[in-house]
Amino acid sequence: MPIPSHELIRRFDVSGPRYTSYPTADRFVEAFTAEHVAQALAQRRNGAAAMLLPLSLYVHIPFCESLCYYCACNKIITRHHERGETYLRYLSREVDLYTAHLGVGQTVSQLHLGGGSPTFLSDGELRELMAMLRRSFSLAPDGEYSIEVDPRTVDSTRLATLAGLGFNRLSFGVQDFDPAVQKAVHRVQPAEQVFSLMAAARLIGFESINIDLIYGLPQQTPESFDRTLAQVLQLRPDRIALYAYAHLPQRFKPQRRIDVDKLPDAGAKLSMLSRSLAAFQGAGYVHVGMDHFALPDDALAVAKRQGRLHRNFQGYSTQPDCDLIGLGVSAIGKVGATYSQNTKTLEEYYDYLDQGRLPVVRGLALSRDDLVRRSVIMALMCQGQLEFESIELAYLIDFNSYFAAELAILHGMQEQGLVEVDDTSLQITKTGWYFVRGVAMVFDRYLQADRTRARFSRII
């Protein structure tokens, strides 16, 4: 796959959404309440076809023992591990509220534990959590069950425990192996520790192992990041997520502890990106989309080749698009044509559940136009192509008339070699795949209307 030129990156590497949903979460409104979620759940339960569709579960564990300065996640820094026990008790209440609406035993094909650090929980607490979920839902034998792992909180014995609990996918947060960078972002973890854990995970037999990397962190240079890339490729994870660090201290307080004078400049970041792309391509990784790469035989790369790739709040997935139940503080759910998000504070989360109420504080009921545009954006994000007739038949529109303004913009992108567009279809080129978020943004009615993109990360 051709690597985009610096000129293209400079021109099209703008701020924009990651499109784990459309409309994006910043469009959720407080007028959408738990009552609306209850209505959507009732519609699912009463619809015979929907009952046959599996569920996806996301569980947010907000606790971390120490603060990583780059972090933009919703987390609670604490060394008081007894807080995990209380949190699980309230998670159980939330699960009970959902099963009261849906019934017990609905099939789940995808489960993801995120955070924070899910491995903040003890082995006993993780067993309790999985037992709770199995009592309430039926976990499909061929499902995807993943957990985010802080390498500092596990050893080979804990990894074996995770496998025994049913997890078949791991994601290790590495970010960078350079000691100076780790110290600058307050996340020190020796490379030897990660190498040992990867070896153990391979022996245990996890189906897929992901490593997260971040470029643009303080103290990073293209040369230092080359060394990290070499170590990562030596590990040869099944998947790699390469994120650009977005310095937004006005939004994320931990980032105020980062010395801005130590951040690499734009030229250095571009160099890190292009060298990373060359390294992954040279090592045989498939560019799945955006900032995700996978080995050719990984399920994600296979799904990309076969046109079965999907996208949800956990990112790219091989699982069919399905309703998502979000559990825990700040978790986002999707049921039918609605999105919902839980409260972001632990105190308010507990208070809602003490009252016997779902802790939903905002969300959105999608309009017909939202649904049309969501179909277009998700097709581009996952398949990289779109046959206009499929949208016309599904929504009874004339694509070229409905999206006349958007197609005019795309013709400009075609001149830059990012897309190929004619009267019947839209195809993202191999180079354009690196800018797929930018192509999708063309169809984002909300974004085109207000142009306020500063709240988003850069698209590369």
Known binding-site positions for S-adenosyl-L-methionine: 58, 70-72, 115, 148, 175, 187, 212, 246, 332
Instruction: Report residue 301: phi and psi, to 5°.
Output: -70, -40
CATH T-level topology, domain 25-324: pyruvate-formate lyase- activating enzyme (3.80.30)
**Number of alpha carbons in the 13 Å side-chain half-sphere of residue 188:** 5
Tokens matching residue 361? 């504080």
Q: What is the DSSP string of 257-277?
A: GS-GGGS--HHHHHHHHHHHH
Give the CA diameter of the chain.
61
Q: Domain spans of the chain?
A: 1-23+367-460, 25-324
Topology annotation, domain 1-23+367-460: Arc Repressor Mutant, subunit A (1.10.10)
Q: Could you tell me which of 358, 273, 334, 322 has the C-alpha nearest to residue 101?
A: 358
Output the pLDDT for position 447.
84
Q: How far apart are CA 363 and CA 338, in angstroms?
A: 7
CA 77, 80, 85 angle in degrees (round to 5)?
105
pLDDT for position 307: 85
| β-bridge mates for residue 242, sequence order | 213
Instruction: Reduce the secondary structure of 138-205 to three states and give it as a string.
Output: EEEEEEEEEEEECHHHCCHHHHHHHHHCCCCEEEEEEECCCHHHHHHCCCCCCHHHHHHHHHHHHHHC
99: which strand partners?
Answer: none
Note the pLDDT of residue 280.
96
Helix H or strand E segment including 372: helix 368-382
| 175 burial via Cβ count (<10 Å: 0-12, 13-18, 19+) | buried
Instruction: Note the pLDDT of residue 458.
Output: 62
Q: 183: which 2 tokens?
A: 């110290």
- Residues in the annotated binding site: 58, 64, 68, 70-72, 115, 148, 175, 187, 212, 246, 332
10-residue stretch averages of pLDDT, the chain, 460 residues long:
71 76 92 96 80 86 94 91 96 97 93 95 97 97 94 96 97 96 95 97 97 96 97 97 89 91 89 91 91 93 89 80 93 95 97 98 97 94 92 97 95 92 94 87 86 55
- Peptide bond before 23: cis, by omega within 30 degrees of 0? yes
**pLDDT number for residue 54:** 87
The binding site for [4Fe-4S] cluster comprises: 64, 68, 71
Contact status, residue 309 vs residue 383, Cβ threshold 8 Å: yes
